[in-house]
Amino acid sequence: MARLLIADDQADVLEALRLLLKGEGHTTELVRSPEGLLEALAKADYDLVLMDLNYARDTTSGQEGLELLGRLQALDGTLPVVVMTAWGSVETAVEAMRRGAKDFCQKPWDNARLLATIRTQLELRAALRWGRNLEAENQLLRQERPEELIAESAAMVPVLQLIERIGPSDANALITGENGTGKGMVARALHRVSRRAAKPLVTVNIGGLSEGVFESELFGHVKGAFTDARADRVGRFELADEGTLFLDEIANIPPALQARLLRVLETGEFERVGSSQTRRVSVRVISATNADLAGEVAAGRFRRDLLFRLNTVSIHLPPLRERTQDIPRLAAHFLEEQLGRYRKPIKGFNAEALAALGRHTWPGNVRELSHVVERAVLMCVGEWIGPDDLGLQPLQGAPPLENMSLDEVEEFLIRKTLARCGGNALRAAEALGLSRSAFYRRLEKYGL
């Protein structure tokens, strides 16, 4: 069943088409002028437009309808338009197709041919949308590697229980914890056990988006919406339709745009940038942050009602220093990954290296451990990784600056500040005098 918009200035024609298409199971919206057609498109999303070329201004040339075709293309270049006229000619048909019409039908129409034309155009539109969404989804999936959720310590038992309990539901979840604790892995685990598992899990790093591209990334845009908008673009909400959208670093959403996100969470409705056409999606939202959102609400930087929508269920991840029991297995897991990547004849960690891993405070948590293991694989020249291969810098007392590169000094300062701030990236950024985006770029650079 499709939603069709029909435009004709004759009431009997509109009624005949409505009855014909109702018999096919389609729903129809009827308008009697070009202005009415444009108003309808501005308010809702349609699968196909069936329109007459001749209206009150000129009943024979089709010029009014041809001009309308150009405006429809500017609104949505993917919307299939089938044109009709009682004053058909080869020249008019060619011009209509040149201006964006997908097919042409002369009045009085043949019911079977008209229905076949509409059916073909609807199938082509569905295939086009599916192909575009699949390609965009594949591009996102190629950027991610599957990760195993390793958790055996007592501190992780409540997390595993919550995943098992709320995963199958559609409830929005807020995952909190220090930077690098594995919030993304928990989001993927929730999606895997949900009824939406067969649909896409789409991830957006809010901390990496500037305010200028935020709306376009989440909601998409239409061609010409801004200078670089050379084509229509599907946003992350549309890509995640019927699936799950993971909003990482949700505390970084600009205050001016929080209302738009709240509206989608409440109604499932939004508009692409540059369009007034309302679209609907069904998306489960999982968000994550290392910030104190209650404090952000108290400071007026985060909407209380948005927090309520995001925080149907809260899952807190403990830092790695509170789950040291998991370190040996996590390190072994990362070692197996890196050996497959670098193909070195390493058997494992010696006892001194394992002891050093257990003593480290891990300000960057699991993500830091992953990078430490990768560095150890690269530095190791024997069969067993030793403590020197790990390259762990103790936070008590700065090493001699003359022996450190500029990057090493910066990494050491960031680590020490993160440890002092309890792993809270936002507080650490403020203490170092860095913007959020600049600080997150450095965290990624140093594997924190």
pLDDT tens-place string over residues 276-329: 888 889 999 999 999 889 999 999 999 999 999 999 999 999 999 999 999 999
Burial of 432: CB neighbours in 10 Å, binned 0-12, 13-18, 19+: middle
Backbone angles phi, psi at 380, to 5 degrees: -70, 135
404 phi and psi angles, rounded to 5 deg: -115, 145
Q: What is the DSSP letter of 284?
A: E
Check: CB of residue 172 under 8 Å from CB of residue 191: no
What is the pLDDT confidence band of residue 401, given thresholds at 50, 70 and 90? Answer: low
What single-letter amino acid sits at 15?
E
**CATH, domain range 154-318:** 3.40.50.300
Q: State the burial class of residue 202 (Cβ atoms within 10 Å of its Cβ: 0-12, 13-18, 19+).
A: buried
> In the 8-state DSSP scheme, what is residue 221?
B
Helix (H) or strand (E) holding 387: helix 387-390
Q: Give the residue extent of every domain in the chain.
A: 3-128, 154-318, 321-445
Whether 346 contacts 380, CB under 8 Å: yes
HSE-CB at 86 with a 13 A cutoff on CA atoms is: 10
Cα 317 to Cα 423: distance, rounded to the nearest angstrom? 12
CA angle 326, 330, 332 (to 5 degrees): 125
Taking only the tens place, the pLDDT of each residue in 160-201 is: 999 999 999 999 999 999 988 999 999 999 999 999 988 889
Using 50, 70 and 90 to split pLDDT, how confident is the model at 395? very low
The total number of residues shown for the chain amounts to 448
Sequence-distant (≥ 6) Cβ neighbours of residue 276 within 8 angstroms: 42, 43
- Which letter does DSSP use for residue 87 in this model? S
- Fold classification of 3-128 is Rossmann fold (3.40.50)
Average pLDDT of the residues in 218-228:
81
Q: Which of the two residues, 96 and 309, has the higher pLDDT score?
A: 309
3-128 and 321-445 share one fold: no
CATH class of 321-445: mainly alpha
Q: Tokens 């197996």 sit at which residue?
A: 336
The backbone torsions φ and ψ at residue 330, rounded to the nearest 5 degrees and listed phi first, read -60, -45
pTM of this structure = 0.61
